[in-house]
Amino acid sequence: MRIDIDSYREIIDTLTRNKSRSFLTGFGVFWGVFMLVALMGGGQGMKEMLYNNFEGFAQNTVLMGASETTKPYKGFKKGRSWYMDYKDVERLKQQVPELDAVAPVLMGRGSTAYYGDQKTTPRIQGTLPEMTKIETPKMYYGRYINDMDVREQRKVCVIGKKIYKELFKEGGDPCGKKIRVDSTYYEVVGVDYRSGGISLGGRAEERITMPLTLMQAAYNRGNSVDMIAAVGRPGVLMSKITDRMRETVARAHYIDPTDEQGVGMFNTELMFQMISNVFKGVNILIWLVGLGTLLAGAIGVSNIMMVTVKERTTEIGIRRAIGATPKMILSQIISESIVLTLVAGMSGILFAVMILQMLEMANTEDGIIQTHFQVGFWTAIFCAVVVSTLGVLAGLAPAARAMSIKPVDAMRDE
C-alpha cells in the first residue's frame, strides 16, 4: 500500500471508534507481554539473588572434615575419633594433581575482639593465602593474608565488614591499627567486604582471618586443622576425584578408605548443579506461561477482528464497489491488527520494564545494584518482534474473511 497519512488515520479511526473494545482486546496482548517480560526479569533476578549467596565461592569445591569412624580398620575399632593435620594438605597436593588449591581451615570458638572501648564477638579462622582460590575476598582496605605472614607467624589479621563497622565506628582505613582478640594483639592488614551467604565457618562479614600457623600457635592447636577445602583445576569433575581424596587422607590416618562418614566430604558441585537445573526448569515454565498468555491475547485479537469484519461487511462492500482491490482491504485489516497488538504489546513491554526497574532500584545498596532484574535490550527487541509477528498472524484470518466479501454484499445487507 502507498504511504498516505489517511491510511494511518483510517486505522486509528477504526480502532478508536470502539474504544472500550479495542482497549479490552489489546489488554490481552498487553498482559501477555507484560507477563513474559516481567517473569523473565523476575526469574533472572531470583536466580541472581540466589547466586549472590554463593558469590565469590568456587563452585567446584570439596570440603573435607573429620568425624568418628564408622568402620573398623587395621585393628582399630569403629567409633574412633581422629583429627586431620597440616600434612594432609601436603598429601592431597601431592597425590591428587587435579586439585588447583588446597586450603586448610582452623576455626576458633567463642572469641571476643576489642579496639579501644569497642568490642565484638567474631568468628576466628586460621587459613592460608590459597583460600582466596576458594572464597574470593572483596578487599575494601588493605590486603589478604600472604605467604610471609604464614611463614613468619606474623600477628596480622583480616577483618570482615561487620567487625570493621563495629570496631571502627568512625570509619577510615583501619590498616596498621592493632586490635585485641582474646589475649593477643593483631595488626589489621585488610578489610574483607565479602558478604556472600556461603562461606566456611560462619558468615564472612563477622569473621577475623589470621595465618593458619599463627592461630595454631596462639590457640595451642598443634598441627591440626578442622577442615580442608579443595578446588579442582578447570574442567576437572570433582565427583570423579572425591574417592581418591578420601583414600589419600584415610590411609594416612589408618581409616577404612571406604568409610564415607569417617572422612566426611561435601561436594558443592552437586548442589550448584541442582540449583542450576531448578532454574532451567523455572525458565522453561516462564516461557511456557508467558508465551501461552501472549498467544491467548493474540487469539483474542483475532477473534475480535473477526467480529469487527463481520460488522463492517457493508462498509467493506462499499469500498470494494468504489474501487478498493482485495489487497487494499487485506492490508487495511492486517494493519489494524498489527497496530492494535503493537501498541498493546509495546505498552506491556514498557510497563514490565518499568516494574523491573523499580525492583532493581529497590535492590540497590550504596548505589551498587545488588540484583539485576532488568531484561536485556535484545530480549525486549525479541519480544517486540514476537508481538508484531503475532499481530500479523492474528490479522490473517479476519483479513481473509474481509477479502472474501463481495461488493454485492454491501447492497444485499440493506
Binding residues vs another protein (CB under 8 A): 2, 4-6, 13-14, 17, 314-315, 317-328, 406-408, 410-411, 414
Closest by CA position to 309, among listed 392, 409, 399, 394: 399
Q: How many whole angstroms separate alpha carbon 366 and alpha carbon 165? A: 15
15 φψ region: left (φ > 0), alpha (ψ -120 to 50), beta (else): alpha
Residue 43's SS3 state is: helix
- Minimum gap (Å) between residue 357 Cβ and another protein: 40
Residue pair 390/75 in contact by the 8 Å Cβ criterion:
no
- Minimum gap (Å) between residue 38 Cβ and another protein: 37
Closest by CA position to 69, among listed 243, 226, 261: 261
Residues 6+ apart with CB under 8 A from 28: 296, 297, 298, 300, 301, 344
Q: How many whole angstroms separate alpha carbon 320 and alpha carbon 118? A: 89
Nearer to another protein, 9 or 240 (CB): 9
Nearer to another protein, 4 or 170 (CB): 4
Q: How many whole angstroms separate alpha carbon 320 and alpha carbon 163? A: 82
- Minimum gap (Å) between residue 319 Cβ and another protein: 7
Closest by CA position to 253, among listed 82, 62, 103, 80: 82
Nearer to another protein, 221 or 319 (CB): 319
Nearer to another protein, 310 or 406 (CB): 406
Nearer to another protein, 153 or 314 (CB): 314
Nearer to another protein, 257 or 407 (CB): 407
And the C-alpha cell for 312?
A: 463492517
- Minimum gap (Å) between residue 27 Cβ and another protein: 23
- Minimum gap (Å) between residue 5 Cβ and another protein: 6
Nearer to another protein, 190 or 317 (CB): 317
Residue pair 302/28 in contact by the 8 Å Cβ criterion:
no
- Minimum gap (Å) between residue 50 Cβ and another protein: 55
- Minimum gap (Å) between residue 313 Cβ and another protein: 12
